[in-house]
């Protein structure tokens, strides 16, 4: 009988670990910078799940405040990252991360 | 099963399926749409944990702004062709190693959770306004703490956003001809060069695979 299963904080932490791992693997194996940014978003969301779960566990609103700031930083990261992608695509060809391996110019 | 358990399982399935879709999709547009699915699942879990304000912000900011920004850039640059799976790996065995690293991260997270779960006693620790059980509503509680204890962080956040806006404007300003990086050859010269973006010579680039150098020269002259 599975009537007594209750969701505990550990469930959220394990889910967060799985989501973070998927994001990390995607970041490592994908070559398209846009998809790599999306994988970074996945990892940030995994951390957000952890923050809210622990905030609920500890009965403290600090976890939700942290998520708020993570959201802001994620937005900033996307803005600057996409600006970089646009700038690189304007100047030269090749949208793959392997083409942008030289930091000069 | 309680309602919370069912909701958690459904949300977890939505999240993980979306995450796998983001990583596995060949088309970046599909990745962006799977990302929306994952963000919705995370918002669902926020609702389950009674973080209603964050659930709304998650949908408005992430699904409404960030993913749309992704889609704008994808459409603007036309990089939505099927990409990279057939390109040879720059580092030998990178993908297997990446999967191993991911499995190691997963194992680390689960082991840490198991070890730390002894400390999760569920005892109440929040005090005063910070407690989730205080008499305020969700938005009131976040607002009170955000503008008192975290006021300095909030102001720094404003500065960060301003810097990001300025950076975006500076990075994407129109390019003069002399700024072009003509001397840099792409590492993947063996790959046929795609058509340059934003020039009226795109038919020329499509007709025969022009070398990257001459194409960038032409597009630079067009833009300047």
Domains of chain A: 9-92 (1.10.287.3510)
CA atoms within 13 A of residue B9's CA, in its CB half-sphere: 7
CB distance A49 to A66 below 8 Å: no
pLDDT, tens digit, 9 for 90 and up, residues A28-48: 888 888 899 999 999 999 999
Q: Do B186 and A102 touch (CB under 8 A)?
A: no
CB distance B194 to A93 below 8 Å: yes
Q: How confident is the model at residue B212 (pLDDT cuts 50, 70, 90)?
A: very low
Q: Do A80 and B164 touch (CB under 8 A)?
A: yes
How far apart CA B45 and CA B7 sit, in angstroms, is 8
pLDDT, tens digit, 9 for 90 and up, residues A75-102: 999 999 998 888 877 776 555 666 666 6
Nearest to B84 by CA among A35, A31, A38, A37: A31
Q: Do A14 and B215 touch (CB under 8 A)?
A: no
Q: What was the ipTM of the complex prediction? A: 0.88
Task: Answer yes or no: is pLDDT of A52 > 80.
Answer: yes
Q: Do B76 and A86 touch (CB under 8 A)?
A: yes
User: According to the 3-state scheme, what is the secondary structure of B34-99?
Assistant: HHHHHHHHHHHHHHHCCCHHHHHHHHHHHHHHHHHHHHHHHHHHCCCCCCHHHCCCCCCCHHHHHH
Tokens of B94: 């990178």
C-beta atoms surrounding B44 within 10 Å: 18
Q: Tell whether B71 lies on the interface with A, counting CB pairs under 8 A.
A: no
Nearest to B77 among A6, A73, A86 (CB): A86
Chain B closest-CA separation from residue A101 CA (Å):
8
Q: Name residues 76-115 of chain B within 8 A of A (Cβ).
A: 76-77, 79, 83-84, 87, 90, 94-95, 97-99, 101-103, 105-106, 108-110, 112-114
User: Average pLDDT of B122-138?
Assistant: 70
Q: Do A83 and B105 touch (CB under 8 A)?
A: no
CA atoms within 13 A of residue B212's CA, in its CB half-sphere: 23
Domains defined along chain B, listed by start: 1-84 (1.20.120.1200), 174-182+191-224 (no CATH)
């Amino acid at each position: 009988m599975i009537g007594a299963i209750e969701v505990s904080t550990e469930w959220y932490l394990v889910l967060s670990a799985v989501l973070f791992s998927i994001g990390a693997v995607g970041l490592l194996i994908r070559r398209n910078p846009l998809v790599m940014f999306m994988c970074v978003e996945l990892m940030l969301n995994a951390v957000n799940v952890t923050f809210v779960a622990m905030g609920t566990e500890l009965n403290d609103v600090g976890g939700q405040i942290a998520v708020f700031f993570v959201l802001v930083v994620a937005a900033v990261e996307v803005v600057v990252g996409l600006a970089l992608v646009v700038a690189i695509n304007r100047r030269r060809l090749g949208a793959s991360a392997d083409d942008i391996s030289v930091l000069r110019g | 099963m309680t309602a919370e358990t069912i909701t958690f399982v459904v949300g977890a399935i939505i999240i993980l399926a979306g995450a796998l879709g983001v990583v596995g999709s060949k088309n970046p547009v599909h990745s962006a749409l799977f990302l929306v699915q994952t963000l919705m699942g995370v918002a669902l879990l926020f609702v389950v944990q009674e973080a209603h304000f964050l659930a709304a912000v998650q949908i408005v900011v992430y699904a409404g702004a960030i993913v749309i920004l992704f889609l704008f850039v994808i459409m603007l640059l036309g990089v939505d062709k099927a990409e990279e799976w057939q390109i040879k790996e720059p580092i030998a065995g990178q993908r297997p190693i990446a999967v191993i690293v991911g499995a190691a991260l997963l194992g680390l997270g689960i082991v840490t959770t198991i070890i730390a779960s002894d400390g999760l006693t569920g005892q109440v620790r929040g005090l005063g306004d910070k407690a989730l059980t205080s008499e305020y509503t969700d938005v009131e509680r976040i607002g009170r703490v955000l503008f008192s204890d975290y006021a300095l962080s909030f102001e720094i956040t404003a500065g960060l956003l301003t810097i990001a806006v300025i950076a975006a404007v500076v990075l994407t300003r129109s390019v003069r001809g002399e700024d072009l990086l003509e001397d840099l050859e792409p590492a993947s010269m063996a790959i046929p060069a795609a058509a340059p973006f934003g020039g009226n010579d795109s038919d020329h680039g499509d007709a025969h695979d022009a070398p990257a150098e001459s194409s960038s020269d032409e597009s630079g002259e067009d833009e300047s």
